[in-house]
Structure 1
């Protein structure tokens, strides 16, 4: 089914629903993030379902409960340092270096006034578990085949080394493979530089290998409307989205419209209920 005016998507995120409130909280994070990035000349772009929502719905996908942006790998540490000092106290930075149980290499900007329950994450596993926005570091890759090969080794050793499974054998194997994995990642970046590669993908240890994009489809970034505000997006967002979703304008059937959270709680609601 393609997007039509006849379907009423408000059944998912109508005004006043928990999901719509969560989406507006995520939008607050994105607005603050955008302000900081523009101030410090850091390039970012909305990505994945957020970009899809902007193009297909003019904002959030109605049933979506997360928000995604991407930045270049070389900007990551600079951005992280700036966010730690300039984010409002309502938001905190979180990544694989300060949260042992995060499953991939990306930055999460969390809201401190909510609780976002996720599958396979117990309450208390993370220092902060509020509504969040993901920031994915992106880097150039040498070739798709090399990327796929290294990603498989690096991703598994990264996750098993962090004891994200209960297998002692996989943990020991990961410890043995880790130096080799790191070396492979560094060699890959060097090869991409030497080859002057025009393809980019998530850094090793980030999202499981999905797709790559052409630098020419990504830059120069352009502005796109999302929930009535302008944010940065890939230059050729049509091809960029086709790389990920193929026929991205096709609306999935109802049984495929999944949300990520198992529960979303606003702490101010709990506080008010106790007054």
Structure 2
């Protein structure tokens, strides 16, 4: 009986190990596994293409070797915009794998001119060479075809390079303060918020401190990083926070407790961009609600 229990525990442990291993790799690989070889673990499944920054951008892939030896990777590209799907360029990049004796990392770079080259748009003409002609959410899909001792096979995981703007993403708050009628009333450090691209210039801040159902809009000066919080929404109506008029540093209402700090700081090394906001809503002199937050972009 003890022997059966030991075998059962070992079997369940093996299943758990394999399941965790597969989850960590985030792939469904028809060519093999980490032990047998033939596996590509794509580290950059999603890349934001920032309008105004033609690159180069980089993608990284881990190559697992085993009895199955991978020798090269062919990268194909296709463009997507809404329901439109372009032609596919079968050989966008070719990556040689020089070391087949052990697991390794390979990288490749690409720029905007390379992304559009050879692809045809919905009107039958070549894709535009001007990145401002694209809509937020348009994307290029890079598929990976691995050549190994079993032939060439399509890898399960791919990479999407999506038209975005620099500061879009999910952020974690690292500093914050809420002032109510001149008194400090708490913080929301550690909470996460989504900064959404509306177009090439306007961002949407989803949530306000403790209230997830409030939103406001802002722009970022491309030269200085200065943030301007907008008093109007996308329909040109006055922005209300918790049913009261928004307070902005450029607006008509005076902050009574906080000093205005509205700044975006790009981190080109790690991608952990920093945003700082000062905003609030006006309920009368001596009854303002004021908010400061400093947030750091979460990098996958």
The bucket for the TM-score relative to the shorter chain is under 0.3
Q: TM-score, normalised by structure 1?
A: 0.23
Q: TM-score, normalised by structure 2?
A: 0.22
Larger RCO (CA under 8 A, 6+ residues apart): 1
Structure with the larger helix share? 1
